[in-house]
Copies of this chain bind each other. A is one copy, B any other.
Amino acid sequence: MSRRNITINDIASSLNVAPSTVSRALNNSSRISEKTRIRVQEKARELGYEINLIASSLSKEETGTIGLIIPGINRFFFSQAASGVESVVRDRGGRLIIAQSNETLEREKEITRMFQSYRVDGVIASLSVETDEVDHLACLQSRNIPVVLFDRVHFGLECTKVVVDNFEGAYRAATHLVKTGCKRPAFIGGPFSSKLFQQRADGFSEALRDHDIPLQPGFLLTTDLTTTDVHDAMRKWMSRSDPPDGIFTASASTGLLVIRIARDYQLGIPDDISIITFGNEPCHEYTHPSLSAIDMPGHDIGATAARHLLDEIRYGSSEHNLVIAPLQLRIRNSTLKKDGWEKP
Question: Using a CB–CB distance below 8 Å, which chain A residues touch chain B?
Answer: 1-3, 5, 50-55, 57-58, 63, 72-76, 79-80, 82-83, 86-87, 90, 95-100, 113-114, 116-119, 142-144, 256, 259-260, 263, 281-283, 285-288, 299
Contact = CB atoms under 8 A, between A and B. Distances in A.
A124 to B, nearest CB: 14
Given A95-B97, A117-B51, A73 B63 contact: no
Which 3 A-B pairs have CB atoms at the shortest separation, nearest pair first?
Answer: A288-B288, A283-B283, A74-B79
Contacts of A5: 143
A51 B83 CA distance: 29
The listed residue with most B CB atoms (<10 A of its CB), out of A87, A117, A299, is A117
Nearest to A56: B117
Contacts of A144: 3
A117 B52 contact: yes
A51 B143 CA distance: 13
Contacts of A117: 50-53
Contact of A53 (B3, B53, B82, B118): B118
A219 to B, nearest CB: 24
Contacts of A2: 142
Contact of A287 (B52, B76, B113, B287): B287
Contact of A58 (B55, B79, B116): B55
A63 B54 contact: yes
Contact of A86 (B51, B86, B100, B114): B100
Nearest to A82: B73
Contacts of A83: 72-74, 100
Contacts of A3: 144
A75 B79 CA distance: 8
Contacts of A113: 50
B63 A74 contact: no
Contact of A286 (B63, B73, B119, B259): B259
A305 to B, nearest CB: 16
Given A57-B54, A119-B53, A144-B3, A95 B114 contact: yes
B53 A256 contact: no
A50 B282 contact: no
A116 B54 contact: no
A74 B72 contact: no
A97 B96 contact: yes
Nearest to A139: B48
A324 to B, nearest CB: 23
B52 A119 contact: yes
17 contacts: A51-B117, A54-B63, A55-B58, A58-B58, A73-B82, A73-B83, A74-B80, A79-B79, A82-B98, A86-B100, A95-B114, A260-B286, A282-B283, A283-B283, A283-B286, A286-B287, A287-B287
A114 B119 CA distance: 18
Contacts of A299: 74
Contacts of A119: 52-54
A227 to B, nearest CB: 12
